[in-house]
Amino acid sequence: MPIHKLAEGPITITVTATETVQGNYGEQVKLSSTDGIDVYISSLTAAKQLARLNLDLDTVVGQTLHLEQIKKNGTTYTNISKATAGAAAPAPRAAAAPAAVSAAPKMTVSEAAVIYGECVAQAMVTLGARCEDAGIPIDASAIQAAAATLFIKVTR
């Protein structure tokens, strides 16, 4: 089966099987897809990312996932998210084509405030509660950053 390396770009797959294997860089999880493409990620990363989505190696089978690598402060991270409805699994490509940019419909400040308020509430529930449970101090700037991240994601 062809292997897609996340360094070559993001991919959306519907998982048909998972397998823990020993790779060149230690223990890895092989995610096999309906398209016959395999994606390998570290076991630790897979466990953390799937747990964040309330999934594990058994319950992820049948799920459509978006996998990507991002670079932040010189470090590369692997992100896994559930794909949105209607997302197709793009074939791996040699060179990325420029993405078409579409203008988002304008919203009023009142509409944006309602959405941001929901994002703040959700950030407090998730980030605030988890940090409190773990004994990690949290301040308003952390809640603000989490809310802004959510707001940006839902308004794009």
Average pLDDT over the chain reads: 83
The pTM assigned to this predicted structure is 0.53
pLDDT at site 37: 92
The pLDDT value recorded for residue 89 is 46
- Domains and their CATH numbers in the chain: 6-82 (2.40.50), 109-155 (no CATH)
Confidence grade of residue 29 (pLDDT, cut at 50, 70, 90): very high
**pLDDT score for 54:** 92
For range 48-71, the mean pLDDT: 92
- Which pLDDT value is given to residue 123? 85
- Residue 156: per-residue pLDDT: 79
pLDDT higher for 53 or 96?
53
Q: What is the mean pLDDT of residues 104-129?
A: 84
Q: How far is CA 38 from CA 19, 68, 92, 104, 145, in A?
A: 10, 14, 11, 34, 35
Sheet holding 64-72, edge to edge: 38-42, 26-33, 11-23, 64-72, 75-82
Quick: pLDDT tens for 2-24. 899 888 899 999 999 999 999 87
- C-alpha 123 chain-centroid distance: 17
Lowest mean pLDDT among 10-19, 23-32, 125-134: 125-134
